[in-house]
């Protein structure tokens, strides 16, 4: 029996606590070699063109490789150490080269074409026909029909893109981890929540310092920007955050050259494959038809949102001048002034709300929502994890069957990538009478509890947790028996956010909030009076928030809808042009937002950031079905959108089918019609714009 945890049978849960950096390279190298042999065997022309002869053996072998590589990538993101990073980076070119080699394998491509043309194809289930069709498409998009020098160059481009993206994310992580500000004058902390002050004190003490250590990680940065009375402190923090991984910091962490390199490589890849731009190439696999359609969609939303954003900013400027003596409102004042305006207008503070959202109760409430909608339970598991913060749960059906395993890692810490995301270790797969169940990671970066008290989450944190749970459920509740049609393998990128954004809506329902909240001192749920204030502020500055998202989306699409790469100067100029078109807030010229835009340059969202807004149309409309079917309640009583019958339909038509059919078909099956933008405008407080 091997002692390398990465080589344990894929049917077993990984022993994360036993994994060492020195396990990674031997396991990946061995599994790549096994997978190469499997590809060559399946590419033999003598094989019968059947699913069982070609695709099943490939999945048997390559599934083990991709499971091990997913584990290595996850650990690299959540417990990054020099040794682990070195091991991961040693293997990255090996994995990239193998993946590219498979995509360019003419023999294997021929086998898929034979399978498509064989009599068996017509007899296969629709999901398997779709897998074959998508594989043929991906072979073509993966350069299989290229010849000679173009083929060689394509392989080089693939490797260079993988390396550049990895280096981009390392620069962001290191820039954040290396920056800190030690304060020794407690007066400069005025306005900050007590738990943030305590965390800063603990961080300084851990470094052997007296005072308070502030960092750029969100649980510290955001409360400072929202609450610090010291304007110079806000300015210093803003400048540090706005120049992460740029030429204004350590030269070795500057992402400028990597952005230029990635844009050039992407444009070259597209040209090699016969596309006018990287955006055109990527949109081959999306719901949207072309860049023009996406740009029209974004600009239509911007036209509806910008008047609201302009009004939001005018109100903020007047309030800041009249009440805060901030007549020259600067970017580092925006969050601070916005929080004061919200407190004044709605008579509550985020700090007050946060006392009710203790992490254990929020999880209890989240699990209650999942159970109510989808008739499954989440049960704590003793599976080993990679860090004391992480917890494993089994997803249990009504028949007491284990449907999957969910790992949650919720707190920010040194060596962990910022942000929130979901990824999968393995997908559901039927093996004869047995089922290989999915294993999913849910990662956030919340502030941990202090002095024996539970972690306190902001309402935005709660929304983030629900968002990521939607992604997790998409994988965990799959009934797709073939991994090639799993949600993360084949749902169109601009529909992948549907379940996640859908789940966010429940965070605004009072009956749900009652189950999510328990005051840290009294244990009482959020009072109705405070909920009403929270709800009335739901769309506070909604116009400003929407145009900001549209700014990101337009910027992404426009820099990728180019025949060739752009210089850093041209990238910043394009961003400035987008801002002139849709924005109402304009940051200083030294702001280097793109250098920290990991979604685009390290997270797979290049030419795809518009997906958040595209899918939000779908998710808002899907949630409207729950609003329409919420059981009637007495006047003054909170409605109950946890409708089990509608939840079962959402499970059956959206979550369970994964990528086994086009996302548009799944939406129509659930809603009975094409999607409408009306629900999104209503939820965003812009319903009058729909007229």
Contacts of 481 by beta carbon, 8 Å cutoff, 6+ apart: 127, 428, 429, 430, 435
The span from the CA of 415 to the CA of 497, in Å, is 27
Cβ atoms of 219 and 196 closer than 8 Å: yes
Stretch 631-647: mean pLDDT: 85
Domains of the chain: 5-145 (1.20.1050.40), 179-243 (no CATH), 359-541+611-690 (1.10.1370.40)
Residue 436 phi/psi, 5-degree rounding, is: -80, 115
The span from the CA of 266 to the CA of 560, in Å, is 8
* Residue 482 exposed, middle or buried by CB count within 10 Å (0-12, 13-18, 19+): buried
Cβ atoms of 592 and 253 closer than 8 Å: no
The span from the CA of 205 to the CA of 210, in Å, is 6
Unique residue bearing structure tokens 């999880």: 363
The per-residue pLDDT for range 379-414, each reduced to its tens digit, is: 999 999 999 999 999 999 999 999 999 999 999 999
The span from the CA of 441 to the CA of 328, in Å, is 44
The span from the CA of 496 to the CA of 489, in Å, is 10
Q: In the 3-class helix/strand/coil scheme, how is 389-403 assigned residue by residue?
A: CCEEEEEECCCCCEE
278 pLDDT higher than 60 = yes
Run of H or E including 47: none
pLDDT attached to residue 205: 97
Contacts of 22 by beta carbon, 8 Å cutoff, 6+ apart: 83, 87
Residue 614 phi/psi, 5-degree rounding, is: -60, -50
| Residue 689 pLDDT grade (very low, low, confident, very high; cuts 50, 70, 90) | very low
The per-residue pLDDT for range 296-325, each reduced to its tens digit, is: 999 999 999 999 999 999 999 999 999 999
* Residue 172 exposed, middle or buried by CB count within 10 Å (0-12, 13-18, 19+): buried
CA dihedral 411, 460, 77, 68 (to 10 degrees): 100
The span from the CA of 283 to the CA of 294, in Å, is 10
pLDDT attached to residue 293: 97
The span from the CA of 342 to the CA of 338, in Å, is 6
Tokens representing 141 are 């998009």
The per-residue pLDDT for range 325-380, each reduced to its tens digit, is: 999 999 999 999 999 999 999 999 999 999 999 999 999 999 999 999 999 999 99
Contacts of 193 by beta carbon, 8 Å cutoff, 6+ apart: 223, 227, 351, 354
289 pLDDT higher than 50 = yes
The per-residue pLDDT for range 654-675, each reduced to its tens digit, is: 999 999 999 999 999 999 999 9
pLDDT attached to residue 687: 73
Q: 424: which strand partners?
A: 440
Q: Catalytic amino acids?
A: 468
Average pLDDT along the chain: 96
CA–CA distance from 601 to each of 205, 407, 419 (Å)?
35, 26, 15
Unique residue bearing structure tokens 């169109």: 492
Largest pairwise CA distance in the chain: 82
pLDDT attached to residue 451: 87
The span from the CA of 353 to the CA of 193, in Å, is 12
1 pLDDT higher than 70 = no
Stretch 8-33: mean pLDDT: 97
The span from the CA of 566 to the CA of 572, in Å, is 10
The per-residue pLDDT for range 88-121, each reduced to its tens digit, is: 999 999 999 999 999 999 999 999 999 999 999 9
Cβ atoms of 63 and 426 closer than 8 Å: yes
* Count of all residues that appear for the chain in the document: 691
Contacts of 388 by beta carbon, 8 Å cutoff, 6+ apart: none
Contacts of 267 by beta carbon, 8 Å cutoff, 6+ apart: 277, 278, 562, 563, 564, 565
| Residue 631 pLDDT grade (very low, low, confident, very high; cuts 50, 70, 90) | confident
Q: 443: which strand partners?
A: 409, 421
Tokens representing 427 are 């997908």
DSSP string, 162-190: HHHHHHHHHHHHHHHHH--EEE--GGGGT
Report the first-to-last Cα separation within the chain, whole angstroms: 67
| DSSP-based three-state secondary structure for 469 | helix
pLDDT attached to residue 566: 98
How much is the pTM? 0.96
130 pLDDT higher than 70 = yes
The span from the CA of 94 to the CA of 25, in Å, is 10
Q: In the 3-class helix/strand/coil scheme, how is 70-131 assigned residue by residue?
A: HHHHHHHHHCCCHHHHHHHHHHHHHHHHHHHHHHCCHHHHHHHHHHHHCHHHHHCCHHHHHH
| Residue 688 pLDDT grade (very low, low, confident, very high; cuts 50, 70, 90) | low
Contacts of 653 by beta carbon, 8 Å cutoff, 6+ apart: 666, 669, 670
Cβ atoms of 212 and 237 closer than 8 Å: no
* Residue 374 exposed, middle or buried by CB count within 10 Å (0-12, 13-18, 19+): buried
DSSP string, 253-264: G--HHHHHHHHH
CA–CA distance from 419 to each of 456, 525, 623 (Å)?
17, 28, 25
pLDDT attached to residue 459: 98
Q: How many CA atoms lie within 13 A of 14 on its CB side?
A: 30
Cβ-defined contacts of 108-116 (< 8 Å, 24+): 108/39, 108/42, 108/43, 108/139, 109/136, 109/139, 109/144, 110/43, 110/45, 111/42, 111/43, 111/45, 111/47, 111/49, 111/54, 112/54, 112/136, 112/139, 114/49, 115/49, 115/50, 115/51, 115/54, 115/55
Stretch 19-42: mean pLDDT: 98
């Amino acid at each position: 029996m091997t002692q390398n945890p990465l080589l344990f049978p894929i049917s077993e849960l990984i022993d994360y606590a036993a994994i060492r950096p020195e396990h990674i390279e031997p396991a990946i190298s061995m599994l790549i070699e096994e997978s190469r042999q499997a590809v060559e065997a399946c590419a033999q022309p003598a094989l019968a063109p059947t699913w069982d002869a070609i695709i099943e053996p490939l999945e048997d072998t390559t599934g083990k490789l991709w499971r091990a590589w997913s584990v290595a990538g996850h650990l690299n993101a959540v417990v990054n150490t020099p040794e682990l990073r070195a091991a991961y980076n040693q293997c990255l070119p090996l994995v990239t080269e193998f993946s590219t080699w498979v995509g360019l394998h003419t023999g294997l491509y021929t086998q898929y074409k034979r399978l498509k043309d064989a009599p068996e194809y017509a007899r296969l289930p629709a999901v398997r026909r779709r897998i074959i069709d998508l594989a043929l498409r991906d072979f073509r998009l993966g350069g299989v029909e290229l010849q000679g020098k173009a083929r060689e160059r394509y392989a080089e481009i693939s490797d260079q893109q993988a390396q550049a993206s990895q280096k981009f994310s390392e620069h962001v992580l290191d820039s954040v981890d290396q920056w800190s500000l030690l304060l020794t004058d407690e007066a400069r902390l005025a306005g900050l929540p007590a738990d943030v002050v305590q965390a800063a004190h603990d961080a300084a003490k851990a470094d052997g310092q007296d005072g308070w250590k502030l960092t750029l990680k969100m649980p510290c940065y955001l409360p400072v920007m929202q609450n610090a009375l010291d304007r110079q402190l806000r300015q210093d923090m803003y400048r540090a955050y706005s120049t992460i991984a740029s030429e204004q910091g350590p030269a070795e962490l500057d992402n400028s050259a990597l952005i230029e390199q990635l844009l050039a490589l992407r444009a070259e890849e597209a040209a090699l494959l016969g596309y006018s731009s990287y955006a055109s190439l990527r949109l081959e696999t999306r719901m949207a038809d072309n860049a023009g359609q996406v740009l029209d969609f974004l600009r239509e939303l911007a036209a509806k949102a910008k008047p609201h954003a302009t009004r939001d900013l005018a109100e903020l400027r007047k309030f800041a001048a009249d009440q805060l003596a901030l007549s020259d409102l600067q970017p580092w004042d925006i969050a601070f002034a916005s929080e004061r305006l919200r407190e004044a207008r709605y008579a509550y503070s985020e700090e007050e709300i946060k006392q009710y959202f203790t992490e254990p109760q929020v999880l209890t409430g989240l699990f209650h929502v999942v159970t109510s909608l989808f008739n499954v339970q989440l049960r704590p598991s003793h599976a080993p994890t990679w860090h004391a913060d992480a917890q494993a749960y089994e997803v249990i059906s009504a028949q007491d069957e284990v449907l999957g395993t969910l790992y949650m890692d919720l707190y920010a810490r040194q060596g962990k990538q910022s942000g929130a995301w979901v990824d999968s270790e393995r997908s559901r797969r039927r093996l004869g009478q047995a089922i290989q169940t999915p294993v999913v990671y849910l990662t956030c970066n919340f502030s941990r509890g202090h002095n024996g008290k539970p972690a306190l989450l902001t309402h935005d944190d709660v929304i983030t947790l629900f968002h990521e749970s939607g992604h997790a459920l998409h994988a965990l509740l799959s009934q797709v028996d073939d991994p090639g049609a799993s949600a993360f393998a084949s749902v169109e990128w601009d529909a992948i956010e549907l379940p996640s954004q859908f789940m966010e809506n429940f965070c605004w329902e009072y009956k749900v909030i009652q189950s999510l909240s328990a005051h840290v001192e009294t244990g009482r749920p959020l009072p109705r009076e405070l909920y009403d204030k929270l709800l009335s502020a739901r769309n506070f500055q909604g116009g400003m928030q929407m145009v900001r998202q549209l700014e990101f989306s337009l910027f992404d699409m426009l820099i990728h809808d180019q025949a060739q790469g752009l210089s850093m100067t041209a990238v910043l100029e394009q961003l400035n042009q987008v801002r002139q078109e849709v924005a109402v807030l304009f940051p200083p010229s030294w702001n280097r937002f793109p250098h920290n835009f990991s979604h685009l340059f390290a997270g797979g969202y290049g030419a795809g950031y518009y997906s958040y807004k595209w899918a939000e149309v779908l998710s808002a409309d899907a949630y409207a079905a729950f609003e329409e079917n919420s059981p009637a309640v007495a006047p003054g009583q909170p409605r109950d959108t946890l409708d089990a019958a509608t939840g079962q339909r959402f499970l059956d038509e959206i979550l369970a089918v994964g990528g086994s059919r086009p996302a548009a078909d799944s939406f129509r099956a659930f809603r009975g019609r094409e999607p409408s933008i009306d629900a999104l405008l209503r939820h965003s407080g812009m319903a009058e714009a729909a007229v």
